[in-house]
Chains A and B, each alone.
Chain A
């Protein structure tokens, strides 16, 4: 089955700097890659996603890149702000099942 690895597990960046979170997946048939943000005690919220026929997608300060050959995808957050502090999960979907990574705790330092 699908396995999703996510790095780093914790990331601290200075406010205003960029943050990058990387994930790899194992099943080449996975075709959809969402990213979720989860604040403490709250539900995971979809922040951006990418499908396997696209290499890059951007939404304001957030971008995601996908390398199907290498089976890895990344989340890029630019101009980080205090409200970006949260746990971020990458995921890979094949058929109707989504497999999540273990998460990255992002700290934005003042």
Chain B
């Protein structure tokens, strides 16, 4: 499968715990995006990388959220001290810099109990 992959697909955690998600983009894509999607809403932009550089972060991204892409390939999104409001689908997308299209991964569904 040469598409965007995400791991895990589902995560249930207790409030206050830390969680980390991984995204593997399409191999030749140097741009990587993180979105959050709640029920009945469109994806909301969180942050994006060009290679290993994090170029923009949304105001939605509180200090409890951090993302990395250390080698310009896969990326991780960590949420510290999770809250019930963090429950959502976290989507990753990638794009080659030469085009505009973004291709989404299957998402990680987070449930905070």
Q: Which residues of A contact B (CB under 8 A)?
A: 4, 6, 32, 34, 36, 42-46, 49, 51, 89, 91, 93, 96-103
Contact = CB atoms under 8 A, between A and B. Distances in A.
Contacts of B103: 46
B10 to A, nearest CB: 11
B104 A51 contact: no
Nearest to B31: A96
A100 B104 contact: no
Contacts of A100: 42-44
User: Is chain A's binding surface mostly helix, strand, loop or mixed?
Assistant: strand
Interface string B85-113: 00000010000000011111111000000
Given A42-B106, A43-B107, A103-B40, A32 B100 contact: yes
B41 interface: yes
Interface string B27-51: 0000101000000111111001010
Interface string B46-78: 001010000110000000000000000000000
A103 B41 contact: yes
Given A96-B31, A97-B48, A103-B42, 4 more contacts: A49-B101, A98-B33, A100-B44, A102-B42
Contacts of B33: 98
Contacts of A98: 33, 45, 102
A102 B40 contact: yes
Contact of A51 (B42, B44, B45, B100): B100
